[in-house]
């Protein structure tokens, strides 16, 4: 039997003994105060001032440490806001309870009621007069932690990670505050929060391979949504001129430090606006998040010092490819043959059937992305890789589209929407051709969406912001798994 199994067996024995005497899982103990509130109010108060006040409190939390001596002992309990110390004496709680207390284990959830006082080392504590075991922990917590040392175990057993790793718990508190801030920011601009379907009969809204499922009653093959875009734009047709949704998307792609099969996005659509106004709004949102989360426009991410105080850079994809591709000019980036020659010379593999825009995008991925550390709006995306974006008025080969990159990561994607139903139908047909040629990320033809556009969609701009990557940025997290409570993992 392993050491852990021995400890579990011992704890089960203690639980069995408790069951013979009472309900082992009571639910009548309520706290009156949170640890953080107590520390905030009384830590600065000296012992002589605090002790005579006989301030009675009731606290409950998980026992994280215990020190016993003679007829007394200390226990530190941890709850949602922080830690508080209990001082337990035999003459304060009685012999039976004190003897029970000495048998309790790390991880047990305990309730203590008593009065606040300061110890000789000036630590705020509760001198307990009532002490109860609320929940018996059957499994031992990790012995040594700056947390769980094994990353995979942290992801698989997030519940243990949150118990013992304060830094991990803080990431998810920050995430919650960020989402709340984003929601308030959008609502102040009169955007209406909506919900759209998670299961689609026709996958669309992004070029990505969907997950498939089946509706038994209707005998229908359905797809988990890859993006809510086409439904949100239907709402702009219906007269909802400013809408947003914060919800999950599902894409049947690889798992990496930047990708999880399900992830959270905010998508929003703004009638009578264009992609320039989207960039302005996005910059305002990100700067407000920096103030909210960091308290400063200057902060670090994975060793890079970011500066959100300056205007975010805006630069075209072609000019960026030229800047970071030695021997390739911006004019060359408008010539398929010259780009192919550059790739051949540099040993860059590519698909011979690719069109000019597809090859430009490949060179951008290879040569440029990693260099975009400071916030950069990459603009003028090729038409070939932007099936839902509006063509540029001056150059029909590019679209009024941008992607925002920070520290080499794409954080947002936005564009002036294509609202010409005939152009959109033609691009859907091209996507279907790509699908039939073996591109399993290509879009399907959505006849109802074309019908909606035929009723007339106002000039509209729309954007998607990756919430998970945004949280990574503001919590200095290296992997997307660090900001997902329950990331995808292969079976144990």
Burial of 143 (0-12, 13-18, 19+ CB in 10 A): exposed
Q: How confident is the model at residue 146 (pLDDT cuts 50, 70, 90)?
A: very low
Angle between helices 166-188 and 275-289 (to 10 degrees): 140
Check residue 149 and give its pLDDT: 61
Looking at residue 486, its pLDDT comes to 95
Q: What is the mean pLDDT of residues 123-130?
A: 98
Tokens read off for 277: 């106004």
pLDDT band at 167 (very low <50, low <70, confident <90, very high): very high
pLDDT digit string, tens, across residues 295-329: 999 999 999 999 999 999 999 999 999 999 999 99
**Residue percentage of the chain with pLDDT more than 70:** 99
Average pLDDT of the chain is 95
Token code pair at residue 310: 């300056």
Q: What does the pLDDT read at residue 148?
A: 56
Q: What is the pLDDT of residue 418?
A: 93
Tally the C-alpha atoms within 13 A of residue 113's C-alpha that lie toward its C-beta: 8
Which helix (H) or strand (E) is 455 found in, with range?
Answer: helix 447-455
pLDDT at 208: 86
- Token pair of 102 as six digits: 């000495």
**pLDDT digits over 93-125, tens only?**
999 999 999 999 999 999 999 999 999 999 999
pLDDT band at 4; cut points 50, 70, 90: confident
Q: Structural domains in the chain?
A: 3-141 (2.40.50.140), 164-324+368-483 (3.30.930.10)
The span from the CA of 38 to the CA of 55, in Å, is 11
The answer on pLDDT for 145 being more than 70 is no
Rounded to whole angstroms, the Cα distance separating 15 from 100 reads 12
pLDDT at 1 over 80: no
Convert the pLDDT of each residue in 382-393 to its tens digit.
999 999 899 999
Is it the case that residue 80 has pLDDT exceeding 70?
Answer: yes
In angstroms, rounded to a whole number, what is the distance separating the alpha carbons of residues 437 and 445? 15
């Amino acid at each position: 039997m392993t050491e852990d199994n021995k400890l579990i067996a011992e704890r089960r024995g203690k639980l069995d003994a408790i069951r013979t005497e009472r309900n082992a899982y009571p639910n009548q103990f309520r706290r009156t105060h949170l640890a953080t509130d107590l520390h905030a109010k009384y830590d600065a108060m000296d012992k002589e001032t605090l002790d005579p006040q006989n301030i009675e409190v009731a606290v409950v939390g998980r026992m994280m440490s215990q020190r016993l001596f003679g007829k007394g002992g200390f226990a530190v309990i941890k709850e949602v806001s922080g830690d508080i110390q209990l001082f337990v004496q035999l003459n304060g709680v009685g012999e039976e309870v004190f003897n029970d207390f000495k048998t309790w284990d790390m991880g047990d959830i305990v309730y203590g009621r008593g009065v606040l006082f300061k110890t000789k080392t000036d630590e705020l504590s509760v001198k307990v007069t009532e002490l109860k075991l609320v929940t018996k922990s059957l499994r031992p917590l990790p012995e040594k932690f700056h947390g769980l040392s094994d990353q995979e175990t942290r992801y698989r057993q997030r519940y243990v990670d949150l118990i013992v790793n304060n830094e991990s718990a803080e990431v998810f508190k920050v995430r919650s505050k960020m989402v709340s801030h984003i929601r308030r920011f959008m609502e102040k601009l009169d955007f209406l929060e909506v919900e759209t379907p998670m299961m689609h009969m026709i996958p669309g809204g992004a070029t990505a391979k969907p997950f498939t499922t089946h509706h038994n009653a209707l005998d229908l093959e359905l797809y988990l949504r890859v993006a809510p875009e086409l439904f949100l734009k239907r709402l702009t047709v219906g007269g909802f001129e400013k809408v947003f949704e914060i919800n999950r998307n599902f894409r049947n792609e690889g798992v990496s430090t930047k990708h999880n099969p399900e992830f959270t996005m905010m998508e929003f659509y703004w009638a009578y606006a264009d992609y320039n106004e989207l960039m302005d709004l996005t910059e305002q949102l990100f700067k407000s998040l920096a103030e909210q989360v960091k308290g400063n426009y200057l902060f670090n991410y994975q060793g890079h010092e970011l500066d959100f105080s300056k205007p975010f850079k805006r630069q075209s994809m072609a000019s960026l490819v030229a800047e970071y591709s030695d021997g390739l000019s911006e004019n060359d980036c408008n010539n398929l043959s010259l780009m192919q020659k550059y790739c051949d010379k540099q040993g860059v593999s590519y698909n011979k059937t690719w069109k000019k825009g597809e090859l430009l995008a490949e060179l951008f991925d290879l040569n440029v992305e990693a260099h975009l550390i400071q916030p950069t709006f990459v603009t003028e995306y090729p038409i070939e890789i932007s099936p839902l974006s509006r063509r540029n008025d001056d150059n029909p080969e590019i679209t009024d589209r941008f992607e925002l990159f920070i520290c080499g990561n794409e954080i947002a994607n936005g564009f002036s929407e294509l609202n010409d139903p005939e152009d959109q139908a033609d691009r859907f047909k091209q996507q279907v051709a790509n699908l039939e040629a073996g591109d399993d990320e290509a879009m399907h033809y959505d006849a109802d969406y074309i019908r909606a556009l035929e009723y007339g969609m106002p000039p509209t701009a729309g954007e998607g912001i990756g919430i998970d990557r945004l949280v990574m940025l503001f919590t200095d997290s290296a992997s997307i798994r660090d900001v997902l409570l329950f990331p995808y993992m292969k079976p144990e």
